[in-house]
Amino acid sequence: MEIAEHIQVVDAEGRLLAAAAEKAGTDAQVATCPGWQIRDLVRHQGSVHRWATAFVAEGLTERRPMPEAPADTDGDALLAWFREGHHRLVDTLTNARPGLECFAFLPAPSPLAFWARRQAHETTVHRVDAQSALHPVTAQEAAPIGAEFAVDGIDELLLGFHARQRSRMRSDAPRVLRVRATDADVTWTVRVTQDPPAAERGATADAECEVSGPAARLYLALWNRLPFPAVSGDFALAEQWRERAGV
């Protein structure tokens, strides 16, 4: 996907998140994030947006702590704070120089491409979280997530996040998990060992377990927002993902 497409997603999903949060109210429980209320979700995502904006807007080349959200702000004022930060992020990404140099923590064609993509997926997953405060997440709620975007997000998660040392998805004995998007003709092979998982596109090894389904459902399942649509083979490996693969 192109940078401009990711920025469009950041814009649209941030608006949807704010609308769902406003409708649910800041006291509402977030079903997909046990222990969180909407105010916690909005404060988190608002802080992430401001954190990302700073790297791009100021050309920061080293990691900085995430800014804290205003703990004494709630209700309409909190939503206004979120919307202001979201608007600034979209504006900053839209007007950034393509050759911008700044900090990024996953491989990408450029720092700007990294931040546009990362914030697109960050905001989309948390939009689903905000909607879960209104009613349980279902397959119908995942439908607005296009297959191409979902495949892009699975790539980011499997080939990016879980390639890092901090991934907790490990196994003393080597295991192989297959991920198959049934509506996109895309598969991933994930080798789980004592090292960080090694994932690649394609059915490159025999798998002990396969999780499969429409790309959007898989995307949310791999982020532990939905159950896996279908599991075949060793169910224990799929369950291990749900227990240990949180980012």
C-beta separation of 209 from 242 below 8 A: no
Sorted by sequence, the CB contacts under 8 Å of residue 104 that are 6+ apart come out as 55, 111, 114, 115
Residue bearing tokens 């994932």: 199
Q: What is the pLDDT of residue 141?
A: 62
| Ranges of residues in the chain whose predicted pLDDT is under 50 | 143
| Model pLDDT, residue 166 | 92
Q: Residue 247: is it exposed, middle or buried by C-beta count within 10 angstroms (0-12/13-18/19+)?
A: middle
- The secondary structure of the chain in percent helix, strand, coil, rounded to multiples of 5, reads 50, 10, 40
Residue corresponding to tokens 């996953």: 106
Which pLDDT score, from 0 to 100, does residue 245 have?
Answer: 87
Helix (H) or strand (E) holding 139: helix 139-142
For residue 216, the model assigns a pLDDT of: 94
Q: What is the pLDDT of residue 138?
A: 64
pLDDT at 143: 47
> Given this model, what pLDDT does residue 93 score?
98
Cα(24)–Cα(104) distance, integer angstroms:
34
Contact 190, 179 (CB under 8 A): yes
Sheet-wide strand order for 186-192: 198-201, 186-192, 175-181, 209-213, 230-233
